[in-house]
Amino acid sequence: LAKTTQPISMDSYEGQEVNITCSHNNIATNDYITWYQQFPSQGPRFIIQGYKTKVTNEVASLFIPADRKSSTLSLPRVSLSDTAVYYCLVGGRDNYGQNFVFGPGTRLSALP
């Protein structure tokens, strides 16, 4: 089962690009990687999802190297409203069935 690790916290100035990396060394062949944003006392909100290489949408990019043992969420121009906790989720089927493993979360503080 994939175990995920993330940096506990990061700071970034407004307007800068920020990259948050998640390590998932035991990722299984069928697992996809999904990133969520969570504000205090709210449910996680979907940001982006990928399997390999690069995925981009209107708010973020996701980079996944060929070995898929890590993934990097990139927010191109941070604003104060991006201050939140960011989680990676690795989910899929393993030898024991289906499971969903969230990383510990990275608390991003956007600074003016």
Partner 1 sequence: DSGVTQTPKHLITATGQRVTLRCSPRSGDLSVYWYQQSLDQGLQFLIQYYNGEERAKGNILERFSAQQFPDLHSELNLSSLELGDSALYFCASSVGSGAGTDTQYFGPGTRLTVL
Is 36 one of the binding residues for partner 1 (CB under 8 A)? yes
Is 63 one of the binding residues for partner 1 (CB under 8 A)? no
CA 75 to chain centroid: 11
Is 34 one of the binding residues for partner 1 (CB under 8 A)? yes
3-state secondary structure the chain: CCCCECCCEEEEECCCCEEEEEECCCCCCCCEEEEEEECCCCCCEEEEEECCEEEECCCCEEEECCCCCEEEEEECCCCHHHCEEEEEEEEEEECCEEEEEECCCEEEEEEC
Is 13 one of the binding residues for partner 1 (CB under 8 A)? no
| Residue whose token pair is 């604003």 | 79
Is 8 one of the binding residues for partner 1 (CB under 8 A)? no
Least Å from the CB of residue 14 to partner 1? 27
Least Å from the CB of residue 18 to partner 1? 21
- By DSSP bridging, strand 70-75 and strand 9-13 are unpaired
Is 56 one of the binding residues for partner 1 (CB under 8 A)? no
Is 64 one of the binding residues for partner 1 (CB under 8 A)? no
Is 45 one of the binding residues for partner 1 (CB under 8 A)? yes
For residue 37, give both structure tokens: 């944003």
How many residues touch partner 1 (CB under 8 A)? 26
Residues that bind partner 1 (CB under 8 A): 30, 32, 34, 36, 41-46, 49, 51, 87, 89, 91-93, 97-105
